[in-house]
C-alpha cells in the first residue's frame, strides 16, 4: 500500500513542538534587531535633513547630484556615489574610523573600500582593471592597502591616488593619450586651436616629504618618468620646469603641506603658459603684484576626519601692466561658467573654453584675468550633458583641455565615451571656423 506524502501542518512551523521535524523558530529577537538597525541607518539621515543638518563636502569634489534616468545603466552605478555623499554624519564616521585605527594599529585607516577617481576621491565600485578591455571603469581600481592620504614627514600630506593611479590604471596610458590626440585632431580639423595642459601631481613636484615606504611606492616611482616622457612626446604642456623655477625663486614649494592643489603661484603659472601657447608674446606686458594672503580649509586632512588650513599669497593679474583683471575663485564648474570683459592689451580676445578639473577651479581667479571671453567647465560633472559640453566646444575658438597628472595616469576621463567623441566630431565638422 502506497504511503501518503507527508502534509504540512495546519499551523506555522514556529508553533510546532520543538521535537517535530518541521519545527523552525522565528528568531524574533534577531529579526527585530536587524529591522531596527536598518531603520536607524536609513531613517536617521532623513530626520537629520528635516532638522536642518546637511551633508558637507569633505572631499575634492562637489556632492554628487541625484543621477538622471537618461543616463541608462549609469543611473544605477551612480546611485552608490550619490547615497554616500548624502550621509550627513560621514565626516564623523571617518574621524572615528581614523581614531580607532591610530589607537589600535598606530596608523591611519587604509583606503581599501571601493574605487576612486583620479581628480578627487570619489567613491565607487569599479571592476578589476583589464588591459584587454580598457575604458570600462570609472577610475583606478582600489586594492587593499592603498591610502586615501599618504602621511609624510614634517606634517606633509599627499593624495593617495597619485600612487594608485599609476599602479592600477583603468586603461593603458598609451590608450589615454591616443584618445586625447583624437579629440585634439577633431578640434584642430574644425579650424580651432587646441591646448592640452597637464598640472603635475603634488607627489611629483614635492617628493622630498614622502615617507620611505607606502602602498604603491614602487610602481609609482617607476611610472613617473615614463609617464612624462609619453606626455611630452604627445605634445602635452609640461609645467614642471616652470614650477621648479618659481619654487626656486620663492624658496619654498608651490604646493601647501596639507592640500593636494597648488598655491596661487601654480595658478598664475598655468594661466601664463596657456596664454602664451595660444598667442605667443601676449604676456610680455603682464604684471602680477602680491596684494596679501588668504587662508582656506585644506582638503587632505578632511579625508582623515581632521581639520587643517592652507595659506597662500594673493596676487593681482594686470594684463596691460596697470589694470587688475583677477577675479574671485569660481568654485562650481558643474555648469558652464562664462566671463566676458572688455578686451585690453595683454588679454586673449578669442572665445576660449577651458575644459578641466579641480585645478581649473583653483586657477579660475587668474584665468578670468587673462581672457576677455572665457568659459570654464568641469569635465566630470553630471549636471551638464555630453551634448551641452559639445555645444561649448562649438561656441569656442580655442579649446584648452586641463587634466591633472593622476587623471591621465589612471585614464579616468569621462569624455572618452565614444558617444561624446562621435558627437564632437559631427558637430565641429558642421560648424568649422575660418
pLDDT tens by residue, 166-193: 999 999 999 999 999 999 999 999 999 9
- The CA–CA distances, whole Å, from 409 to 126, 164, 176, 381, 405 equal 16, 9, 8, 20, 6
Do the Cβ atoms of 142 and 165 come closer than 8 Å? no
Specify the pLDDT at position 113: 41
CB-based contact 266:165 (threshold 8 Å): no
DSSP 234: T
Better-scored residue on pLDDT, 85 or 37:
37
Instruction: Check whether 133 has a pLDDT greater than 50.
Output: no
* Closest C-alpha to 202, from 80, 299, 87: 299
Distance, C-alpha 204 to centroid of its chain: 17
Strand, helix or coil for residue 87: coil
96 — pLDDT class (breaks 50, 70, 90): low
The residue with cell 583641455 is 401
3-class DSSP assignment, residue 339:
strand
User: How far is the CA of 42 from the CAs of 12, 28, 39, 47, in angstroms?
Assistant: 31, 21, 5, 9
Residues 370-384 have pLDDT tens digits of 999 999 999 999 899
| E strand intervals along 26-153 | 149-151
Q: What pLDDT, on a 0 to 100 scale, did the predictor assign at position 340?
A: 97
What is the predicted pLDDT for the residue at 76? 58
pLDDT band at residue 140 under the 50/70/90 scheme: very low
H or E segment to which residue 165 belongs: helix 161-167
> Where is pLDDT greater, at 384 or 21?
384
Amino acid at each position: 500500500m502506497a504511503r501518503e506524502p507527508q502534509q504540512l501542518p495546519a499551523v506555522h512551523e514556529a508553533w510546532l513542538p520543538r521535537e517535530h521535524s518541521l519545527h523552525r523558530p522565528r528568531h524574533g529577537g534577531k529579526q527585530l534587531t536587524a529591522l531596527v538597525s536598518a531603520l536607524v541607518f536609513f531613517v536617521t539621515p532623513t530626520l537629520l535633513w528635516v532638522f536642518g543638518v546637511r551633508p558637507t563636502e569633505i572631499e575634492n569634489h562637489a556632492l554628487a547630484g541625484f543621477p538622471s534616468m537618461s543616463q541608462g545603466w549609469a543611473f544605477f552605478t551612480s546611485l552608490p556615489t550619490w547615497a554616500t555623499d548624502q550621509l550627513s554624519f560621514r565626516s564623523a564616521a571617518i574621524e572615528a574610523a581614523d581614531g580607532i585605527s591610530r589607537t589600535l594599529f598606530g596608523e591611519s585607516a587604509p583606503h581599501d573600500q571601493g574605487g576612486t577617481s583620479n581628480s578627487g576621491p570619489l567613491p565607487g565600485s569599479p571592476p578589476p582593471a583589464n588591459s584587454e578591455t580598457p575604458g570600462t571603469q570609472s577610475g583606478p581600481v582600489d586594492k587593499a592597502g592603498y591610502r586615501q592620504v599618504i602621511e609624510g614627514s614634517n606634517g606633509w600630506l599627499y593624495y593617495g591616488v597619485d600612487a594608485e593611479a599609476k599602479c592600477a590604471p583603468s586603461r593603458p596610458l598609451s590608450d589615454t593619450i591616443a584618445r586625447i590626440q583624437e579629440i585634439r585632431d577633431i578640434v584642430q580639423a574644425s579650424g580651432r586651436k587646441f591646448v592640452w595642459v597637464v598640472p603635475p601631481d603634488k607627489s611629483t613636484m614635492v617628493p622630498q616629504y614622502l615617507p620611505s615606504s607606502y602602498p604603491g611606492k614602487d610602481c609609482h616611482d617607476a611610472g613617473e618618468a615614463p609617464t612624462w616622457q609619453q606626455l611630452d612626446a604627445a605634445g602635452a604642456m609640461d609645467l614642471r620646469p616652470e614650477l621648479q623655477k618659481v619654487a626656486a625663486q620663492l624658496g619654498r614649494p608651490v604646493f601647501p603641506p596639507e592640500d593636494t592643489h597648488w598655491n596661487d603661484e601654480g595658478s598664475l603659472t598655468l594661466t601664463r603658459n596657456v596664454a602664451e601657447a595660444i598667442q605667443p608674446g601676449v604676456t610680455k606686458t603682464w604684471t602680477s603684484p602680491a596684494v596679501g594672503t588668504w587662508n582656506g580649509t585644506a582638503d587632505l586632512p578632511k579625508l582623515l576626519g581632521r581639520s587643517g588650513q592652507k595659506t597662500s599669497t594673493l596676487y593681482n593679474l594686470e594684463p596691460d601692466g596697470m589694470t587688475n583683471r583677477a577675479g574671485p575663485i569660481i568654485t562650481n564648474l558643474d555648469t558652464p561658467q562664462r566671463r566676458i570683459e572688455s578686451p585690453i592689451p595683454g588679454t586673449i580676445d578669442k572665445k576660449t573654453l577651458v575644459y578641466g578639473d579641480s585645478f581649473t577651479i583653483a586657477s579660475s581667479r587668474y584665468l578670468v584675468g587673462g581672457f576677455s571671453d572665457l568659459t570654464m567647465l568641469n569635465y566630470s560633472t553630471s549636471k551638464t550633458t555630453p551634448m551641452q559640453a559639445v555645444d561649448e566646444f562649438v561656441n569656442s575658438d580655442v579649446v584648452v583641455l586641463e587634466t591633472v597628472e593622476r587623471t591621465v595616469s589612471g585614464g579616468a576621463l569621462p569624455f572618452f565615451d565614444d558617444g561624446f567623441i562621435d558627437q564632437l566630431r559631427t558637430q565641429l565638422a558642421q560648424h568649422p571656423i575660418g
